[in-house]
């Protein structure tokens, strides 16, 4: 596998008064799955459209192996993409959809049959795509992305509409593509979908990158030194806050404490004779890490009740 | 695994033509794999063929025995002509001249409202049925009522002639061999202001002159009638053509008219061996009524000649006989309607589903995508149009003739032009529809716009619009392209309703087609600009 990468730098784009991209920069490395996450409106889809030369950025560049997409002669042999699984002519069969795409790249029908097999579509290849479930359309989209056997793949929300079995298949499939040395960029607004798939995560918010790190790094940072405390005593929060901890109410009898180790929490509560039922070190999920990172970037989030320190 | 692919691609980067061939092939695959589009194109062919081969037109030619067969005389120039008038003549041997004073020209016109004609151009009533008898008449002259002097090779229909005449409202004219017309002094004739006419033969040359007083003469023009026999028939004539009045936008009332001219001071020079006048109705239907038969009266030095008919090129439609092969292509609009809808959807369906992004991601050079789509549509539509037009032009005229409708014969070249022109009309209109679809992007909006600019102006022009508005629309809208289908010639010296409904367009065939092409080029340029500039 060659080392084709997708590199975006300093992308800016406005739609009227809305800033869609505000200096988006990141790189997608070969041989791994890069998750591209962020809340709706973070600019993920716009970034992907700019990479594919569909939308023009006001500023900045997006390069595929060092070249702008629009200069590629057979672009599907460089980057396979799936933006919208519903982008199909309903009366055209799955195979014919792939066939015209193949013809546009100078590829043959044999290649079409190969990707049909790869995406598990053989049984429905000669059916009209209009009758496909969203999950089937996602598979067809994946097949289209694989047509040119590209060293880089870019998939926008590929898990959408997939049943649990499909999600498991998709995760395995993405990992196998990365294992073949391809650069795989997968967007999602649900970090949990990427938990067992992505090796690297680019978190976007308000048109720019908030975090760009490996999954391992993110999880370590997010877990931090937080402690989950189960108590019904109203004085618990005040006691801990006085000691310099940040206390958040996360349930009817649950507080999340950061800034103090579990042992210190137990010591403080015991000293203050505050009753509690459980103290445990917090285990962060990728979702937690994401929520933490995007807290400021989410434009319309519910006001979280936060106890004064 | 794909490093090889990338290397191969880099070497192929310069091969632009290969790149376009790939886009072209992809667009062709796209077109043929949507059944609705293929079916729509086939239905378009079926509509053109169906409407062309199942015409509602019925005529009487050949339907009432062998005597009812419709034929038109053929003039010296090879074209079909009308040769019907009242002729008071005697032979003139060799060179000579004839001079006469005309003192009045009066006539009768149909009282009007003889019943509307259908817009499809049913055969004119000048056919052998001999209508017009017993119809109410009113006094008046048709604009091209003609009376004066004529020298004719023989009394055979379609033979060469030259004439100098006073007309109903076009002044004095010199005409020869049916199609040539030269204007002389204006004005008509009254007893208070008579008009002198003179026609002189010198070899093959006939010269016409007019005078207000018989002393001061003005030469109007000369005609060279090659191969004119040494003895010709010369004398006085009167003709008054089929009178046409438009009723509403597409209807017409027609009926025969009649004129009477009074002459005196007849003077002959040269050798006139018979020395006696014969009055004879030339041409026209055998069973014509008294109005069309005419007659003459000679008393003292004066003549009164009454006649009907015309000496002119034959036309189709209201004032003439029958129709043209253009009639067989009457269903083109229906085929065009389907073709432009398919052509518009060929791009707007991609916008509707977001498929355009897939297309442009596969082929980032957007101008090429538009060009490939235009080529595919143009080629498919042209082939469909070619097949449909070839069938109806070939077989449609046979069916019309079988129905007793007189169809003016067309040259092979004209038939080829109509067939190829129809194919080109459909193909270019399809590309125009594609361009409008690419610019507007939404199916319903684009399809509506396409029908409004291409099909509607044509349909309105041949149905409800007044002639002025119709001609204006068919000059400036893309519907001007329908002109490529016309096969009838129009003549200023023949009064007729030269309407689009009868196959007469305001622009010449290829000029009208060029208007459509200009609109298409403009729309394509705008579409290409927008496609490149806008986010997909």
Largest CA distance in chain A: 77
Residue A37: CA atoms inside 13 Å, Cβ hemisphere, count? 32
pLDDT of residue B112: 63
In percent, how much of chain B has pLDDT > 90? 66
- In tens, the pLDDT along A83-114 reads 999 999 999 999 999 999 999 999 999 999 99
- In tens, the pLDDT along B407-465 reads 888 889 999 999 999 999 999 999 999 999 999 999 999 999 999 999 999 999 988 88
Nearest to B140 by CA among B253, B258, B245: B258
Question: Where residue B473 falls among pLDDT bands split at 50, 70, 90?
Answer: very high
Question: Where residue B491 falls among pLDDT bands split at 50, 70, 90?
Answer: confident
Q: Is the pLDDT of residue B123 over 60?
A: no
Q: Is the pLDDT of residue A1 over 90?
A: no
- In tens, the pLDDT along B11-66 reads 344 445 578 999 999 999 999 999 999 999 999 999 999 998 886 677 777 777 66
pLDDT of residue B453: 93
Number of residues in chain B = 536
d(C-alpha B205, C-alpha B458), whole Å: 47
Name the residue in chain B with its Cα closest to that of A103.
B26
Can you say whether the dihedral through the CA atoms of A197, A201, A202, A203 is positive or negative? positive
Q: Which residues pair with B224 in a beta bridge?
A: B205
Best to test chain B binding among A1, A46, A100, A179 (most B CBs inside 10 Å): A100
Measured between beta carbons, which residues in chain A are less than 8 angstroms from residue B353? 86-90
Concatenate the DSSP letters of all residues of B66-78 into one string. GGG-----B-TTS
Q: Is B2 in contact with A1 (Cβ distance < 8 A)?
A: yes
Buried b / exposed e along B400-420 (16+ C-beta atoms within 10 A):
bbebbbbbbebeeebbebbbb
Q: Is B353 in contact with A180 (Cβ distance < 8 A)?
A: no
- In tens, the pLDDT along A204-240 reads 988 999 889 888 787 777 666 678 888 888 888 888 8
Can you say whether the dihedral through the CA atoms of B272, B277, B281, B287 is positive or negative? negative
**Of residues B183 and B323, more confidently modeled:** B183
pLDDT of residue B284: 77
pLDDT of residue B308: 93
Helix (H, G, I), strand (E, B) or coil at A272: coil
Alpha-carbon distance values, B237 to B75, B95, B212 (Å): 18, 20, 20
pLDDT of residue A13: 96
Q: Is the pLDDT of residue A144 over 60?
A: yes
pLDDT of residue A246: 82
Nearest to B386 by CA among B425, B343, B419: B419
Mean predicted confidence (pLDDT) in B113-127: 40
**Per DSSP, which regions of chain A are E strands?**
6-15, 18-28, 32-37, 59-64, 67-68, 79-82, 152-156, 183-188, 200-205, 208-214, 227-230, 246-251, 254-258, 278-281
Mean predicted confidence (pLDDT) in A30-40: 92
Alpha-carbon distance values, A148 to A76, A78, A107, A152, B3 (Å): 5, 7, 8, 10, 12
Measured between beta carbons, which residues in chain A are less than 8 angstroms from residue B363? 104
Q: Is residue A288 less than 8 Å (CB to CB) from chain B? A: no
Best to test chain A binding among B34, B345, B362 (most A CBs inside 10 Å): B362
Average pLDDT over all residues of chain A: 87
d(C-alpha A98, C-alpha A95), whole Å: 5
Can you say whether the dihedral through the CA atoms of B169, B173, B179, B180 is positive or negative? negative
pLDDT of residue B4: 39
pLDDT of residue B55: 62
Nearest to B392 by CA among B415, B413, B414, B410: B415
Q: Is the pLDDT of residue B79 over 90?
A: no
**CB neighbour list of residue B231: distance below 8 Å, 6 or more residues apart:** B91, B92, B93, B94, B273
Contact between B248 and B103 under an 8 Å Cβ cutoff? The reply is: no
pLDDT of residue A275: 87
d(C-alpha B202, C-alpha A113), whole Å: 88
pLDDT of residue B218: 95
Q: Supply the pTM of this predicted model.
A: 0.82
In this complex, the residue of A72, A86, A181 whose CB is nearest that of residue B364 is A72
Best to test chain A binding among B2, B17, B27 (most A CBs inside 10 Å): B2
Q: Is residue A101 less than 8 Å (CB to CB) from chain B? A: yes
Helix (H, G, I), strand (E, B) or coil at A70: helix
Question: Where residue A299 falls among pLDDT bands split at 50, 70, 90?
Answer: very low
d(C-alpha B146, C-alpha B75), whole Å: 19
Measured between beta carbons, which residues in chain B are less than 8 angstroms from residue A81? 361
Residue B202: count of CB within 10 angstroms of its CB: 12
pLDDT of residue B120: 36
CB pairs under 8 A between A and B: 120
Question: Where residue B316 falls among pLDDT bands split at 50, 70, 90?
Answer: confident
Average pLDDT over all residues of chain B: 87
């Amino acid at each position: 596998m060659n080392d084709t990468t997708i590199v975006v730098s300093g992308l800016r784009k406005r739609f009227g008064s809305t800033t869609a991209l505000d200096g988006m920069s990141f790189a997608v490395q070969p041989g791994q799955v890069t998750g591209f996450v962020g809340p709706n409106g973070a600019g993920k889809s716009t970034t992907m459209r700019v990479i594919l030369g569909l939308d023009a950025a006001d500023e900045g560049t997006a390069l595929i192996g060092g070249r702008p997409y629009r200069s590629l002669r057979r672009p599907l042999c460089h980057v396979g993409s799936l933006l919208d699984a519903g982008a199909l002519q309903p009366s055209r069969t799955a195979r014919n959809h792939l066939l015209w795409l193949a013809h546009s790249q100078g590829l043959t029908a044999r290649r079409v049959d190969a990707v049909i097999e790869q995406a598990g579509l053989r049984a429905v290849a000669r059916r009209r795509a209009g009758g496909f479930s969203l999950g089937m359309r996602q598979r067809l989209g994946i097949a289209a992305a694989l047509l040119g056997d590209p060293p880089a793949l870019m998939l926008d929300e590929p898990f959408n509409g997939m049943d649990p079995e499909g999600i498991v298949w998709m995760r395995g499939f993405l990992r196998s593509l990365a294992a073949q040395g391809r650069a795989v960029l997968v967007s999602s607004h649900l970090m949990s979908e990427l938990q067992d798939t992505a090796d690297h995560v680019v978190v976007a918010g308000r048109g720019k990158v908030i975090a760009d790190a490996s999954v391992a790094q993110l999880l370590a940072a997010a877990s931090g030194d937080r402690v989950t405390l189960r108590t019904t005593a109203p004085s618990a929060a005040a006691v801990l806050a006085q000691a310099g901890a940040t206390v958040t109410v996360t349930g009817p009898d649950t507080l999340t404490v950061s800034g103090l180790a579990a042992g210190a929490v137990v010591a403080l509560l015991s000293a203050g004779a505050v009753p509690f039922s459980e103290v445990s070190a917090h285990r962060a999920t990728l979702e937690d890490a994401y929520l933490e990172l995007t807290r400021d970037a989410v434009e319309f989030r519910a006001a979280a009740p936060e106890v004064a320190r | 695994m794909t490093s090889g692919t990338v290397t191969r691609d880099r070497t192929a980067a310069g091969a632009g033509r290969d790149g376009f061939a790939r886009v072209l092939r992809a667009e062709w695959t796209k077109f043929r794999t949507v059944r609705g589009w293929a079916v729509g194109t086939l239905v378009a062919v079926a509509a053109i063929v169906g409407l062309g081969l199942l015409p509602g037109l019925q005529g009487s030619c050949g339907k009432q025995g062998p005597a009812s067969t419709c034929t038109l005389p053929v003039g010296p120039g090879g074209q079909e002509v009308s040769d019907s008038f009242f002729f008071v003549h005697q032979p003139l041997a060799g060179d000579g001249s004839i001079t006469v004073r005309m003192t009045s020209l009066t006539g009768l016109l149909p009282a009007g409202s003889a019943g509307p004609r259908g817009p499809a151009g049913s055969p004119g009533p000048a056919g052998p049925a001999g209508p017009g008898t017993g119809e109410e008449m009113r006094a008046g002259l048709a604009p091209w009522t003609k009376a004066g002097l004529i020298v004719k090779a023989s009394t055979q229909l379609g033979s060469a002639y030259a004439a100098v005449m006073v007309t109903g409202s076009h002044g004095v004219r010199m005409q020869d061999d049916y199609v040539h017309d030269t204007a002389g002094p204006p004005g008509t004739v009254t007893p208070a202001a008579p008009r002198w006419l003179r026609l002189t033969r010198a070899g093959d040359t006939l010269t016409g002159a007019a005078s207000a007083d018989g002393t001061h003469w003005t030469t109007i023009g000369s005609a060279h009638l090659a191969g004119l026999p040494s003895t010709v028939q010369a004398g006085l004539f009167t003709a008054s053509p089929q009178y046409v009045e438009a009723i509403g936008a597409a209807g017409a009332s027609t009926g025969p008219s009649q004129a009477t001219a009074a002459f005196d001071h007849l003077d002959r020079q040269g050798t006139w061996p018979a020395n006696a006048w014969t009055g004879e109705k030339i041409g026209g239907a055998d069973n014509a009524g008294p109005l069309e038969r005419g007659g003459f009266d000679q008393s003292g030095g004066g003549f009164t000649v009454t006649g009907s008919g015309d000496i002119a090129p034959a036309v189709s439609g209201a004032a003439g006989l029958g129709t043209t092969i253009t009639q067989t292509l009457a269903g083109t609009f229906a085929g065009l309607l389907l073709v432009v809808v398919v052509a518009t959807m060929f791009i707007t369906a991609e916008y509707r589903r977001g498929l355009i992004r897939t297309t442009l991601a596969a082929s980032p050079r957007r101008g090429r995508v538009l060009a490939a789509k235009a080529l595919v549509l143009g080629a498919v539509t042209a082939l469909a149009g070619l097949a449909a037009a070839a069938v109806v032009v070939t077989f449609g005229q046979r069916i019309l003739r079988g129905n007793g409708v007189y169809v003016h014969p067309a040259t092979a070249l004209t038939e080829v032009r109509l067939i190829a022109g129809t194919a080109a009309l459909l193909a270019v209109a399809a590309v125009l529809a594609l361009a409008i679809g690419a610019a507007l992007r939404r199916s319903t909006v684009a399809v509506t716009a396409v029908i409004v600019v291409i099909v509607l102006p044509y349909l309105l022009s041949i149905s409800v619009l007044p002639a002025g508005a119709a001609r204006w629309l068919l000059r400036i809208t893309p519907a001007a392209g329908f002109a490529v289908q016309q096969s009838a010639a129009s003549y200023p010296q023949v009064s007729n309703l030269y309407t689009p409904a009868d196959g007469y367009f305001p622009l010449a065939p290829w000029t009208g087609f060029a208007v459509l092409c200009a609109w298409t080029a403009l729309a394509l340029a705008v579409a290409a600009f927008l496609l490149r500039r806008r986010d997909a």
